[in-house]
Amino acid sequence: MLLLAARYSFANAKVRALRARRLTPEDFHFLIQARDLSGFFAYLATTSYQDILSGKNIGGGTSIKSIERSLYAPLFKEYRKIAKALKNPGSRQVILALYSRFEAENLKIILRSIVLGKNRSLVSHLLYPLGSLTRLPWDDLWNCKDPAGLAKVLRGSVFGLAIRHALPQFEAQGRTFPIEVALDLAAFRWLAEATSRLSGKRDKNEARNVLGRYVDILNCLWITRLRLHFNMSPEEIVNYSLPGGMDITLKRLHLLAKSKTTSEFVENIPETMAKKLTMVREWSDFRPAFTSLLLRLLRKVLASFPFHIGVEAGYLLEKELEVQALIATMESKKQKIAPKDIARHVPMELLGEVAHV
Amino acid sequence: MFKAVKLTRVTIQCPEEQISPVMAVLGNMRLLHLIRIEETHLGKLGYVAQVDRKLLDHYDSLLSRTNRLIDGLSPTQPMPSITKIPRPDREIFRLKEVITRIEEKALPVLEKREKTWQEIARDQALLDRLKLLEPAELDFDRLGPLKYATWMTGLIPEENLDRLEESLSDVYHALIPVFRKAGKVVLFAMSLRDDEDVLHRALKSAFWDPIELPGDLKGTIYEVTRRTSKALEGLRIKLSELDQQRKVLGERYGAQLLETREIILLCSQLLRAQKKFGAIDHTYIITGWLPFDLFNELKKRIIEATRGKALIDRVDPEHIREVRAGILKIPILFNNPLLIRPFERLTTLYGTPSYKEVEPTVFLAISFLVLFGMMFGDVGQGALLFATGYYVFRKMFRFMDYGVILMECGVSSMIFGLLYGSVFGFEDLIPALWMHPMRHIDHFMKVSILLGISIISLGFLLNLINLLRQKRYGDLFSASGLAGALFYWLLAGLGIRYIFSENVSPAEILFAKVSAISLFIIMLFQKPVRRLFFHLRKGDKRHRLPKGIGITLFESLIEVLDDILRYMANTVSFVRVAAFGLTHVALFMAVFSLADMVRTAQGQGLSYWLIIVAGNLVIILLEGMVVSIQTLRLEYYEFFSRFFRGGGKPFRPLLGEKAG
C-alpha cells in the first residue's frame, strides 16, 4: 500500500484539485433554467468553462457544433495534466489509452472526409481539440488520399494495424463503417491491454473495477444502438462488441444481443447492474439509466481508497460525462425545450438536490 | 563577352499556306526569342493566330502511340539529336507511316507479352492463396459437390476469433484455423447451407479478408498447387521468349522510335508556338528578337523556303518606341567563352543584367577564381577538387556547369598551392613561389586589402560605363558615380601610400583634404541642385525653391555618409580573404598536431596517415564550402552591388524547352 501511495499521491492530489472545479448541481440548475441559449452561455461564462467562451462570437460566426467540440478542451487539458502527474509508465499508458478513444473519433472524421472528398476546412469544426497530448501525425493524415494511406501513416500506432485489418471489408462493403468500428476496437483493446499490464494486484483490480464496468456499460449501450439504429443481427453485434469488459462475458453479450424486449434485456444483465435498471421500459431510456449507473460507480470509486489508477481514470470519465450533460443541455436550449424536460435527460447524479431553489 | 549579344527585332509576314516552311526555318535557326503578339498593339487589337488544333491533335495521338512503343520495347540507344526541323504539316504523313509500320511488327509481340504477364500475375496470386491454405489439406473434389453445407476460406484478425466463435454458437458450424500470419488467422469456415447468411454476417463483422478461389478447382490442394506451378513455369518460358523478341525489335526500331519522338516533340512545340503569332485575314505575322548577325542568314532561308512569298524586316532596338519608353524589354543573350559560361548561373542567381548594362560574368568568373584560390590554396586539395569536378562533368549531366566551376576552382587552388608551397598541408615538399601565408600574415592582409580595393574599383568603373551607356549623366556626380569613385580612390590611394611607405607628406595630405571636401560638397549638393534645375525647367513661378528641398538636402547628407561608410566597410571586408586563407593553414596545423600526437603514442603507422587523410577530407568539405560561400558573398555584396542593377529578361530561344 505504501508503494501505491507513493506512486499515486501526487496524481491523486491533482485529481482532487481538478475535481473541485467541476460543475455543481447548482450550476446545472441555472444552466437548465436559463431563459435561452444566450442566457445559458452567460451563466456558463461564470463557471470553469469561461476560457472556452472568451473570443467566441456566440450566435454570430461561431457554430454551436464548434462550441460543442471546444467544451471538450478542458477535459483534454486535464488528460495532459494527469498523464504528466503519473510517473509510472504503466499507469500513464492507461490514461493514454483512455484518451485514444478521442483520437479514434478524430481519425473517423478524417477518414470520412477523405472518402467523401471533403475539404479539411469543411470538417475541422467537428474535430475534438485534442491538445498537445496526442502524438499522431495529423497533418500527414490530412494529406492522405485513401484509407490505405491512413494505415500507412499510422503504421506503428495501435490504429495502423486496425485500419489495415478492416481494409478488405471496407472495400467489400464500400463504406467506412468497418474501419470506424476497427478504430474504436483498437482504442479499447489498447485500454484492456494497458489495464492488464498494470503492476500490482490492487491497482489492476481497481482499474478493472472502473474501466471493465465502463466497457460493460458501453457494450450494453452499443447493443441497443446497433439493434435500434443499425438493425444488426446478434452475430454481428457480438463481433462488434468492445473488448475488456468485466462482468459481461461473450456468452452473456450474445444473450443480450438476442433479447427481444427490454425486460428480457434487463434479465440478461448481471445482477449487480440489473437492480438499478428494473424501472426501464423503453429502449431509449437505457442511456440515462446506464449513465446514472456509471456516475454512481465513479462517485463510489472517487470516495473510497485513493491510491490507484481507477481514481484518475474515474475522474476523467466523470468529467467526460459532465461535458456530455452540458452539451445535451445546450442542444436542448437551442431547440427551446422546457427546463423540466431537459432535467429528465440529465443524470440525477449531476443535478443532485438543490435545496434553495 | 562584356556585353550581351546585339539583338535586332525581326518581323516576318507570310501567307497562311507558307507558315509551315517558315516555322521549319525558325526551328532550324533556333536563336529566335519570340515576342507574344498579345503583348504588342497588334495583339491588343485581337489579331492573334490560332494554333492548328487539328494538326496538333494528330501529333499528340502519334506521340502517345510512339511512347507506348518506346515503353514496350525499352530501347537502349542514345538519345538522337535533331539538327534539321521538318515542316510539321508535311512531316506528319511520314511519321504516321513510320509508326504504323513499327506497330505492325511490334504490337502483336507486346500485346502477347502483356497478356502473358497478366496470366502470370493471376496464377501467382492463386498460388500464393493456395500456399496459405495448404496445411488444411483441402480436397476440392469433395468440397465442390457439397449440397447441404457451405465453406469459405479467408483471414481474420487473431483477436477476433473468440468473438466469431461465440457469434456462431447458435448455428452448426466449424471454424478451422489453418495457420497464423502477421496477427491474422487463416481460417476455413463451414456451416449448413441454410445458415449461409448467418455465417456471412458473422465473418463480415469479424473483419473477414476472403481468400477467393476459382470455382472450377479439381483434386487436392497439392495437385492444384502442382498444376498451377507447372502452368506458371510454362508461362515464364513463354515470357522469356517474348522478351527475346522484344529485345530484337528494340534493337531494330529503337533508334528510329527515339528519333521519331524527338521530331514529334519539336513539331508539336513549333505548332504550339503559333499562339504567339499574329494573324490578319490569311497572313501570319511573327515577331521576335534575333542576334543581329543572323538576320541575313534568316532572311535568305525564309525567302528560299517560301519562294519569295514572305516579307522579312528588322528594326534595331534603339528605333523602337516601346523599348525607349521602357515598356518592352530586350532579352539578354549571354555571349561568353566556354570556360566562363558556367559562371552565368551564378550571375543569374543574383539577377539578369539589362540590355544596356555591362554583362559581368567574365569579371565574376575571374575574381571568383582568384578569391577562391587565395583562400583555398593547396596543390593536393586543388587536384582533388579538379578530379571531383571532372567526375561531375562526365557523369552528372544536370550539374555539368557546376562540374566545370569545380574543375576551375581546383586549378586556381593548385596555382595558389604552388605559390604557397602547400601539398595536402605539407609545406616542405615544394618551395613556395610567393610566400607561406602563416609566416607572412601582415603581407597577406595587405594583399587582401589591395585586392579588395581593385575589385571595388573595378565595380566603380563598370558602374561608370553603365551610367554612360544608359545616359544617366546626372548620376555621375553622386556617391555611386564618378564623384564617389574619385573620393574612394583618393582615400584608397592615401591609405596605400601610408601602408607601404608609412610616410605621407603634408602637401599630399593638404591635396587630399581639399579634393575630398570638394568631392563631398559635389556629392552632397548634386541631388538638391538637380531638383532645383528640374523645378526651374518646369517654370513654377509661385515658389522660388521646390517644396521639401531641406529634406532633400538632409537625405542627401545621410546617403553620402552611408555610401562612404559602406565603401570603407566593403574594403575592410576583403580582409576575410586573408583570414580564411590563414584558417585553411590553421586547420592543417590542427590536423598535423593530432597526427603528431598519434605518432608519438603509436609511431608513424596507419593511424597517422588515416588522420592526415581524414583531416584533409574534412578540410576539403568544410573549408571548401565555407570558402565558396564567402567568395560568393564578396562577389554579390562587395562587387555586384556597386554596379549591377539587373531586372533584365533572359533570352528564351524557340524550341528551348521540349513540349509534352
pLDDT digits (tens, 9 = 90+) for B471-506: 888 888 888 889 999 999 998 888 888 877 777 788
Q: What is the DSSP string of A39-91?
A: HHHHHHTTSTTHHHHTT--BTTTB-HHHHHHHTTHHHHHHHHHHHHH--SHHH
Question: Given a cut of 60, is residue B469 above it in pLDDT?
Answer: yes
pLDDT at residue B1, rounded to an integer: 65
CA atoms within 13 A on the CB side of A213: 24
- Whether B231 has a pLDDT exceeding 60, the answer reads yes
Is B393 a residue whose pLDDT tops 60?
yes
Question: Which domains are delineated in chain B?
Answer: 7-101+247-331 (no CATH), 128-231 (3.30.70.100), 472-573 (no CATH)
**String of DSSP letters for B200-256:** HHHHHHTT-EE----TT--SBHHHHHHHHHHHHHHHHHHHHHHHHHHHHHHHHHHHH
Yes or no: say if B33 and B67 are a contact pair by the CB < 8 Å rule: no
Report the alpha-carbon distance of residue B14 to residue B33 in Å, rounded: 18
Share of chain A above pLDDT 70, in %: 96
How confident is the model over A304-333, as pLDDT tens digits?
888 889 999 999 999 999 999 999 999 998
pLDDT in tens, A39-84: 898 899 888 888 887 766 665 555 777 788 889 999 999 999 999 9
**B111 neighbors B284 (Cβ within 8 angstroms):** no
Give the CA count within 13 Å in the CB-facing half-sphere of B243.
8
B525 is written with which cell numbers?
Answer: 549638393
Range with the lowest mean pLDDT among A280-289, B64-73, B290-299, B577-586?
A280-289
Predicted pLDDT of residue B659:
36
Q: How many helices (H) and strands (E) does chain A have?
A: 22, 0
Mean pLDDT, residues B500-526 taken together: 85
> How many angstroms separate the Cα of B602 from the Cα of each of B426, B605, B606, B607, B615?
21, 7, 9, 8, 18
Nearest CA in chain B to A163: B207
Band the pLDDT of A127: cuts 50, 70, 90: very high
| Chain A neighbors of B183, CB-CB under 8 A | 161, 165
pLDDT at position A351 = 82
Buried b (16+ CB within 10 A) or exposed e, B529-544: bebbeebeeeeeeeee
- Is the CB of residue B160 less than 8 Å away from at least one CB of chain A? yes
Structure confidence by residue, pLDDT tens digits, B610-643: 888 888 898 888 888 999 999 999 999 889 988 8
- B198/A235 touch (CB, cutoff 8 Å), yes or no: yes
pLDDT for B657: 45
Reply yes or no on whether the pLDDT at B84 is more than 80: no
Sign of CA dihedral B334, B338, B342, B347: negative
Q: What is the pLDDT of residues A10-19, one digit of tens each?
A: 888 899 999 9
Do residues A288 and A343 lie in contact, with contact meaning Cβ atoms separated by under 8 Å?
no
Q: Does residue A238 sit at the B interface (CB-CB below 8 Å)?
A: yes
CA distance to partner chain A, nearest, from residue B168 (Å)? 6
- pLDDT in the model for residue B409: 94
Residues of B with CB below 8 A from A192's CB?
none
Check if the beta carbon of residue A220 is closer than 8 Å to that of residue B133.
Answer: no
Q: What is the pLDDT at residue B425?
A: 85
Q: Domain limits of chain A?
A: 64-308
Q: Which of A 240-279 lie inside 8 A of B, CB atoms?
A: 240-241, 243, 250-251, 253-254, 258
B651 membership: H or E segment, kind and range:
none
H helices present in B273-332, as ranges = 295-306, 321-324
3-state secondary structure of A304: coil
pLDDT of res. B555: 84
A50-54, A249-253, A335-339, B315-319: lowest mean pLDDT where?
A: A50-54
Nearest CA-CA partner of B595 in B428, B429, B424: B424
Is the pLDDT reported for residue A103 higher than 80?
Answer: yes
CB atoms within 10 A of CB A56: 14
Residue A327: per-residue pLDDT: 92
B221-272 vs B19-29: helix crossing angle, rounded to 10: 100
* B166 min Cα distance to partner chain A (Å): 7
With an 8 Å Cβ cutoff, are B206 and A239 in contact?
yes
Nearest to A332 by CA among A46, A124, A36: A36
Instruction: Pick from B159, B161, B167 the residue to mutate for testing the A interface (most A CBs within 10 Å).
Output: B167
For position B540, what pLDDT does the model report? 62
Mean pLDDT, chain B, rounded, equals 87
Using an 8 Å CB-CB cutoff, list chain A residues near B207: 165-166, 168-169, 178, 182
- This complex has an ipTM of 0.88
What residue has cell string 501513416?
A: A153
Give the model's pLDDT for residue B239. Answer: 95
- The whole-angstrom distance between A337's CA and the closest CA on chain B is 39
Question: Are A210 and A242 a contacting pair, CB within 8 Å?
Answer: no
What is the SS3 string spanning B23-92?
HHHHHHHCCCEECCHHHCHHHHCCCECCCCHHHHHHHHHHHHHHHHHHHHHCCCCCCCCCCCCCCHHHHH
Q: Are strands B331-332 and B649-650 parallel, antiparallel or unpaired?
A: parallel
